[in-house]
């Protein structure tokens, strides 16, 4: 069986640019201000739950919902789940509300990165 000594794109540097975006309310699409976490019913005895056998399950979650201020009071756990914790969008919990979205670079910017990286 023939194998290649040099694979296509081997050694090619790839630059990935991301942007931190805030999660949205699952009801209305506004910026999320609360993260509600849910646990499966009978969680401490249910091996399918992430809180199975734990004494303190306040940081565990089997599912979650993000809501804005207005929709926060309307949210209910999905069927088969119970309420666990609610986290506010505060400095302490900011990481819970952000996700990394890829940013598409224009071809000129991508070419400039390629030239720069080829000199390394």
State how far the Cα of 28 lies from the Cα of 34, in Å rounded to an integer: 13
Q: Which residue has the higher pLDDT, 7 or 107?
A: 7
Confidence of residue 65 (pLDDT cuts 50, 70, 90): very high
More confident residue, 18 or 16: 18
Whether 47 is covered by a domain: the verdict is yes
Looking at the structure of the chain, the number of domains it has is 1
Arithmetic mean of pLDDT, 92-103:
94
Cβ proximity of 45 and 39 under 8 Å: no
Range of the domain at 82: 22-99
Q: What local confidence, expressed as pLDDT, does residue 29 receive?
A: 96
- Residue 80: half-sphere exposure toward Cβ, Cα within 13 Å: 6
Per-residue pLDDT for 2 more than 90?
no
Residue (of 20, 26, 1, 4) closest to 99 by Cα position: 20
pLDDT at 71: 96
7 domain residue, yes or no:
no
Q: Kindly state whether residue 113 falls inside one of the protein's structural domains.
A: no
Stretch (H or E) spanning 25: none
**Taking a C-beta distance cutoff of 8 angstroms, is the pair 86, 37 a contact?**
yes
The answer to the question of residue 63 being in a domain is: yes
Residue 99 has pLDDT above 90, yes or no: yes
Residue-averaged pLDDT of the chain: 88
Task: Please report which helix (H) or strand (E) contains residue 102, including its range.
Answer: strand 98-102
Kindly state the average pLDDT of the residues 16-24.
92
13 part of a folded domain:
no
Q: Is there a domain that residue 39 lies in?
A: yes
Domain assignment of residue 57, yes or no = yes
Of 74 and 12, the one with more pLDDT: 74
| Greater model confidence, 29 or 48 | 29
């Amino acid at each position: 069986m023939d194998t290649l000594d040099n694979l296509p794109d081997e050694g090619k540097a790839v630059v990935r640019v991301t942007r931190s975006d805030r999660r949205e309310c699952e009801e209305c699409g506004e910026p999320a201000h609360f993260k509600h976490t849910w646990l499966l019913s009978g969680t401490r005895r249910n091996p399918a739950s992430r809180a199975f056998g734990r004494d303190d399950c306040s940081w565990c979650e089997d599912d979650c919902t993000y809501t804005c201020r207005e929709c926060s009071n309307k949210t209910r756990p999905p069927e088969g789940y119970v309420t666990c914790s609610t986290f506010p969008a505060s400095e302490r919990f900011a990481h819970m509300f952000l996700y990394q979205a890829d940013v598409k670079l224009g071809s000129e910017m991508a070419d400039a990165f390629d030239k720069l990286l080829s000199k390394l």
